[in-house]
Structure 1
Amino acid sequence: MSAADQPVSALLLDLDGTLVDSEPLHRRGYELCFAARGWDVPDLGIFTGRRALDVFATEPGPWSGLDPQVVLDDVLAHVPDEDPTPVAGARELILAACSSRTPVAIVTSAGPSWVERSLTSLGLGLDDVDLVVTALDVLAGKPDPEGFALACGRLGVDPSAAVAAEDSPAGIRAARAAGVRRVVGVATSHDPSVLLDAGAAEVHDDLRPLVPLLRRSP
């Protein structure tokens, strides 16, 4: 039985760029913050899918030598106070998983409050998912597999039979490294070829193609 045919043990979902198209909001926060500091704006793609603290601590840039938490707090203060836009199929996918009794975990580089606000924008709440793994729950962020491995361990599921959805190369590599065979790329933030090169089994414009998969799961 191929990975595409076997029952889905769990649905492992990234948040930003996967469930909600929030990357434009975050990108605006970086741009406004860096402009206020008089910094040249780097390629903001280095932040996609990763914890900002990890980027500020490890990647060279105008922030080098500064306290990563201070810089992050400044960026967050510049993010527009707007609800994120749902990705098409996100709400339907989670509800289909609930109906099929397929466990759902959100595995994100964001914090708990943003998870709750994003779910609210989908017309859902924390009770509609089984588990949330945030930036605060892991020592190493994506592309490290810790978050996905933690989710599978807490759910008690086989990662090789899980399906993950991610919009970034870092997230795709993290899921694959955790043993997830079917990692679906969502092309909201990157070109499909970039996601396929990172190891995505397939790439879609949104989450609607995954809804029938969950409806088939026992």
Structure 2
Amino acid sequence: MPAVLYDFDGLLIDSETAGLLSWQRVYAEFGHELDLAHWLSETEAGRGPCMPTERLAELVGKPVDWEAVERRRIVWRDELLVARPGAEDHLAEARRLGFDLAIVSNAPDWWIRQRLDSAGIAPELFEVIICKTEGIARKPAPDAYLAALRELECAAGDALAFEDSPVGIRAARAARIRCVAVPNMVTAHFDLSAADVTLPSLAARPLAEVAGALLTAGCPGVRERSPDGR
């Protein structure tokens, strides 16, 4: 069965934008400006989440209660942690069309499930969730995508990946999966040209149209599912 494989952070949930804005607010609280170039370089390299506390400590130059700072930052971040525009409709369309769905992420399982719950997205929508775990190399290695294909029993030519960053795009393409880039406010700064298609949002084009153009099997067409979505 054809499948749609979704990255998580920055693609379904706008965590990269939330992280950046919350850290910019922390820096502003201390009268400084976040080094955006450093932040972007860390994100582009896939070393996130970026935690530029040491850089701020050097600027402040005096003792700071960093635990209290982090508590405030998390509150600010969580206020911004929402599903990206079009994400819920995109998932619903994929289910209506009969695709199997997977999340393929470098994030830990607890984070993915916590954030899905807070965004009102049921984990049961996904046949497979591949996350940060021992034995699976992080993106840009293709391991996580290859694991998803194995669990779904799906050929690479029948799968479509949605990613927001160069690291994720490289991972999908290394697994020989067609990839659609959907950049967020942060990753829009990066070169995403390795993707087969780049869209400004998940709502920009119908999934049926994109899949029909990119997948070997085209679009599978609507098939009935049981009440639990499977």
- Flag whether TM exceeds 0.5 (same fold): yes
Q: Give per-residue Cα distances to partners, 1:79-111, cap 9 Å, x unaligned.
A: 433361221221111112222221111011112
Please give the residue correspondences for 1:69-218 in structure 2 after superposition, counting only pairs within 5 Å: 78-79=73-74, 80-82=77-79, 84-136=81-133, 138-180=135-177, 182-188=178-184, 189-191=186-188, 194-196=191-193, 199-208=194-203, 209-213=205-209, 216-218=219-221
Q: Give per-residue Cα distances to partners, 1:108-166, cap 9 Å, x unaligned.
A: 11122221233234422111111111112553211111111111111110112211010
Superposed CA RMSD: 3.5
Unaligned runs of 5+ in 1: 1-7, 63-73
Partner of 1:132, secondary structure, is: strand
Equivalent-residue separation in structure 1 for 2:109 and 2:156 (angstroms): 23
Q: Give per-residue Cα distances to partners, 1:191-218, cap 9 Å, x unaligned.
A: 387111xx11111111112433469532
Equivalent-residue separation in structure 2 for 1:126 and 1:91 (angstroms): 12
Equivalent-residue separation in structure 2 for 1:118 and 1:210 (angstroms): 25
| 126-135 vs 171-180, greater mean Cα deviation | 126-135
Distance 1:29 1:110, change over 3 A: farther
Equivalent-residue separation in structure 2 for 1:81 and 1:91 (angstroms): 19
**In the alignment, which residue of structure 1 is the partner of 2:216?**
none
Instruction: Supply the AA of the counterpart residue of 1:11.
Output: V
**In the alignment, which residue of structure 1 is the partner of 2:62?**
none
Q: Give per-residue Cα distances to partners, 1:11-45, cap 9 Å, x unaligned.
A: 01001111121112223566659x99xxx856222
Kept in 2, the 8 Å contact 1:19–1:86? The answer is yes
Distance 1:85 1:116, change over 3 A: same
Instruction: Supply the AA of the counterpart residue of 2:183.
Output: A
Instruction: Supply the AA of the counterpart residue of 1:203.
Output: T
**In the alignment, which residue of structure 2 is the partner of 1:4?**
none
Partner of 2:192, secondary structure, is: helix
| 152-161 vs 43-52, greater mean Cα deviation | 43-52
Shift of 1:187: 1.9
**In the alignment, which residue of structure 2 is the partner of 1:18?**
11
Equivalent-residue separation in structure 2 for 1:51 and 1:155 (angstroms): 28
Unaligned runs of 5+ in 2: 56-66, 213-218, 222-230
Equivalent-residue separation in structure 2 for 1:47 and 1:29 (angstroms): 16
How many correspondences in the alignment? 193
Equivalent-residue separation in structure 1 for 2:168 and 2:111 (angstroms): 18
Equivalent-residue separation in structure 2 for 1:192 and 1:204 (angstroms): 14
Kept in 1, the 8 Å contact 2:14–2:82? The answer is yes
TM-score (norm 1): 0.72
Distance 1:13 1:30, change over 3 A: same
Q: Which has the larger radius of gyration?
A: 2
